[in-house]
Amino acid sequence: MKRIITYGTFDLLHYGHINLLRRAKELGDYLIVGLSTNKFNEIKGKKCYFSYEERKKLLEAIRYVDLVIPEECWEQKIQDIKEYKVDIFVMGNDWEGKFDFLKDYCEVIYLERTPEISTTKIKADLGLNKAPTKSI
Protein backbone atom coordinates (compact mmCIF):
# COMPACT_ATOMS: atom_id res chain seq x y z
CA MET A 1 0.00 0.00 0.00
CA LYS A 2 1.38 3.40 -1.01
CA ARG A 3 0.73 6.10 1.63
CA ILE A 4 0.54 9.81 0.84
CA ILE A 5 0.57 12.72 3.29
CA THR A 6 -0.21 16.39 2.83
CA TYR A 7 -0.71 19.27 5.25
CA GLY A 8 -2.78 22.41 5.35
CA THR A 9 -5.31 24.61 7.05
CA PHE A 10 -8.19 23.85 4.66
CA ASP A 11 -10.26 26.78 5.90
CA LEU A 12 -13.07 27.94 3.59
CA LEU A 13 -12.82 24.66 1.71
CA HIS A 14 -13.02 25.18 -2.08
CA TYR A 15 -12.52 23.29 -5.34
CA GLY A 16 -8.79 24.07 -5.38
CA HIS A 17 -8.47 22.07 -2.15
CA ILE A 18 -10.51 19.24 -3.66
CA ASN A 19 -8.30 19.23 -6.78
CA LEU A 20 -5.17 18.98 -4.62
CA LEU A 21 -6.61 16.16 -2.49
CA ARG A 22 -7.83 14.23 -5.56
CA ARG A 23 -4.46 14.52 -7.30
CA ALA A 24 -2.61 13.56 -4.11
CA LYS A 25 -4.80 10.46 -3.66
CA GLU A 26 -4.15 9.46 -7.30
CA LEU A 27 -0.47 9.04 -6.36
CA GLY A 28 -1.21 6.15 -4.02
CA ASP A 29 -3.70 4.17 -2.00
CA TYR A 30 -4.09 5.95 1.35
CA LEU A 31 -4.21 9.72 1.87
CA ILE A 32 -3.39 11.25 5.24
CA VAL A 33 -4.10 14.95 5.80
CA GLY A 34 -2.23 16.81 8.53
CA LEU A 35 -4.72 19.52 9.47
CA SER A 36 -3.29 22.61 11.15
CA THR A 37 -4.80 23.18 14.57
CA ASN A 38 -6.16 26.61 15.48
CA LYS A 39 -3.25 27.08 17.91
CA PHE A 40 -0.68 26.25 15.20
CA ASN A 41 -2.45 28.59 12.75
CA GLU A 42 -2.12 31.41 15.30
CA ILE A 43 1.64 30.74 15.43
CA LYS A 44 1.67 30.96 11.59
CA GLY A 45 -0.25 34.26 11.76
CA LYS A 46 -3.46 32.77 10.31
CA LYS A 47 -6.95 33.18 11.69
CA CYS A 48 -9.45 30.51 10.68
CA TYR A 49 -13.12 31.05 10.04
CA PHE A 50 -13.94 27.44 10.98
CA SER A 51 -12.72 25.62 14.09
CA TYR A 52 -10.32 22.69 13.85
CA GLU A 53 -13.15 20.22 14.55
CA GLU A 54 -15.37 21.72 11.83
CA ARG A 55 -12.52 21.67 9.29
CA LYS A 56 -11.71 18.08 10.28
CA LYS A 57 -15.33 16.98 9.70
CA LEU A 58 -15.31 18.61 6.27
CA LEU A 59 -12.09 16.83 5.27
CA GLU A 60 -13.31 13.49 6.60
CA ALA A 61 -16.38 13.79 4.36
CA ILE A 62 -14.21 13.97 1.23
CA ARG A 63 -13.86 10.58 -0.44
CA TYR A 64 -10.17 11.06 -1.26
CA VAL A 65 -9.20 11.51 2.41
CA ASP A 66 -8.56 8.38 4.47
CA LEU A 67 -7.25 9.88 7.71
CA VAL A 68 -7.03 13.37 9.25
CA ILE A 69 -4.41 14.02 11.93
CA PRO A 70 -3.65 17.24 13.81
CA GLU A 71 -0.70 19.36 12.69
CA GLU A 72 0.56 21.12 15.79
CA CYS A 73 4.02 22.31 14.75
CA TRP A 74 6.35 22.57 11.73
CA GLU A 75 8.73 19.98 13.16
CA GLN A 76 6.31 17.05 13.36
CA LYS A 77 6.46 16.13 9.66
CA ILE A 78 9.43 13.76 9.94
CA GLN A 79 7.83 11.96 12.89
CA ASP A 80 4.50 11.68 11.02
CA ILE A 81 6.24 10.26 7.94
CA LYS A 82 7.94 7.61 10.08
CA GLU A 83 4.90 6.81 12.25
CA TYR A 84 2.46 6.46 9.35
CA LYS A 85 5.00 4.79 7.00
CA VAL A 86 4.49 7.48 4.37
CA ASP A 87 5.83 6.96 0.85
CA ILE A 88 5.05 10.37 -0.67
CA PHE A 89 4.80 13.85 0.84
CA VAL A 90 2.66 16.23 -1.26
CA MET A 91 2.25 20.00 -1.09
CA GLY A 92 1.09 22.73 -3.46
CA ASN A 93 3.80 24.20 -5.65
CA ASP A 94 3.61 27.52 -3.79
CA TRP A 95 5.78 25.63 -1.25
CA GLU A 96 8.27 24.47 -3.93
CA GLY A 97 11.62 23.56 -2.35
CA LYS A 98 10.55 24.30 1.24
CA PHE A 99 10.17 20.64 2.16
CA ASP A 100 13.01 19.11 0.16
CA PHE A 101 14.67 18.10 3.46
CA LEU A 102 11.98 15.40 3.69
CA LYS A 103 13.48 13.62 0.65
CA ASP A 104 15.68 11.72 3.12
CA TYR A 105 12.49 10.05 4.42
CA CYS A 106 10.12 9.77 1.43
CA GLU A 107 9.42 11.08 -2.05
CA VAL A 108 8.46 14.78 -2.13
CA ILE A 109 6.08 16.05 -4.80
CA TYR A 110 4.86 19.61 -5.31
CA LEU A 111 1.56 19.70 -7.19
CA GLU A 112 0.46 22.66 -9.26
CA ARG A 113 -2.18 24.75 -7.54
CA THR A 114 -5.53 25.58 -9.11
CA PRO A 115 -4.49 29.06 -10.29
CA GLU A 116 -7.74 30.99 -10.16
CA ILE A 117 -8.80 30.10 -6.60
CA SER A 118 -7.35 30.34 -3.10
CA THR A 119 -8.61 30.92 0.42
CA THR A 120 -6.72 34.23 0.40
CA LYS A 121 -8.61 35.29 -2.75
CA ILE A 122 -11.97 34.25 -1.28
CA LYS A 123 -11.28 36.22 1.91
CA ALA A 124 -10.21 39.24 -0.13
CA ASP A 125 -13.31 39.02 -2.36
CA LEU A 126 -15.52 38.83 0.75
CA GLY A 127 -13.64 41.67 2.45
CA LEU A 128 -12.47 39.38 5.25
CA ASN A 129 -8.84 40.53 5.00
CA LYS A 130 -9.64 44.17 5.65
CA ALA A 131 -8.92 45.78 8.98
CA PRO A 132 -12.08 46.75 10.86
CA THR A 133 -13.13 50.33 10.27
CA LYS A 134 -14.12 52.71 13.02
CA SER A 135 -17.62 54.06 12.83
CA ILE A 136 -18.19 57.69 13.68
Q: What angle do CA 39, 40, 46 make, to 5 degrees?
A: 90
Q: Is 85 a catalytic residue?
A: no
**From the candidates 2, 25, 39, 44, which is the catalytic residue?**
44
Q: Is 46 a catalytic residue?
A: yes
- CA atoms of 24 and 60, how far apart (whole Å): 15
**From the candidates 2, 25, 39, 46, which is the catalytic residue?**
46
- What residues act catalytically? 44, 46
